[in-house]
Amino acid sequence: MNIAILDDYLGVSQQVADWEGLKSRANVFVFHRPLALLDEAACELADFDILCTLRERMPISGELIRRLPRLKYIVVTGKRYDTVDVRAAAELGIPVSNTPVSGVGAGGVAELVWGLIFAATRHIASEDRGMRGGGWQTQAGTTVGGKVLGILGLGGLGRRVAEIGRVFGMEVRAWSQNMTTEQAEAAGARFVSKAELFATSDIVTVHLALSDRTRGIVGATELNAMKSSAYLINTARGAIVDEAALIAALRSKTIAGAGLDVYEQEPLPAAHPFRSFPNVVITPHLGYFTKDMLGSYYGDAVRLMESFLDGRPERVVNMGLEPGS
């Protein structure tokens, strides 16, 4: 039995989880480079029985699945499995499992959200660069106390961000398509319309899941309604924010700046405007990328693969799918 651990660029999978039991039962091979092309992936993975992906780094298309004659099982680390064609796998009798949601994840992302907020509002990255070049105090920052924090989406992560915002003395306002006044109040927030949230918030942070309903939900209308002193923070998914509209808003200084951890295309292209805007703090999708979270992901993935080898696959997300349904 051959197992492929995909897209482990930094080789962390073997450091953060115990693989010894699994390695005594199967051959485990770690891919440290992306397999971006279909033909390359089909060739490299032809002899593997199990694929283990790191989040959504590598799409597992139906065409790829059909070109892997030995494939028997797919494990996705993390809750979401949108990048795996689960229907194609089901049609071939290949179970797909995802790892459980961990409290470590929401906490880690919430920490990054606040890191981006402070990096943007206090100009930490640009002041650091300035000092390394011999400079000193190039621009004054702003504080968050007494300001309005607007949150799109009050799931587990949004609620954590709201809680921290209140500690800093912020007024928290929230909106999502399905939110109720009672849900917002339970999180210590005030439910407002989307238009009011963008028009009145000093910081808007995005915590929606990407879907057909939320794709591009933050566009030119919303960005143009924001205060010129306001900041947009996105650690959710890049496609939730209309990227062209955000570039235009940043270039024209319609908004003061942004803190971004996610992008429409990842990795972010080398010549992308976000890399050169002085009013943007960018990080390479670090929200989940902590040793703690990776340890949780890979530890759970190991247990799922061991259960599969025992003949009792767990957390299967696709076996109820009917072809064409």
Q: Which residues are catalytic?
A: 237, 266, 285
The DSSP bridge pattern shows strands 257-260 and 190-191 to be unpaired
**Residue 58: CA count within 13 A, CB half-sphere:** 29
Q: Within a 10 A sphere around the Cβ of 68, how many other Cβ atoms?
A: 21
| CA 281 from centroid of its chain's CA atoms | 16
Closest to 261 in 3D by CA, of 236, 240, 228:
236
Q: Are 99 and 81 in contact (CB under 8 A)?
A: no
SS3 state at 173:
strand
Q: How far apart are CA 277 and CA 255, in angstroms?
A: 13
Length of the chain: 325
Transcribe 11-23 into DSSP letters.
Answer: --HHHHS--HHHH
Give, in order, the Cα–Cα distances in Å from 317 to each of 3, 90, 97, 240. Answer: 20, 9, 6, 25
Transcribe 187-199 into DSSP letters.
Answer: TT-EE--HHHHHH
Q: How far apart are CA 287 and CA 78, in angstroms?
A: 12
Q: What is the dihedral of CA 100, 101, 107, 112, to 10 degrees?
A: 90
Q: Show the tokens assigned to 146.
A: 């007494």
The DSSP bridge pattern shows strands 50-54 and 73-77 to be parallel
Q: How far apart are CA 151 and CA 173, in angstroms?
A: 6
DSSP assignment, residue 274? G
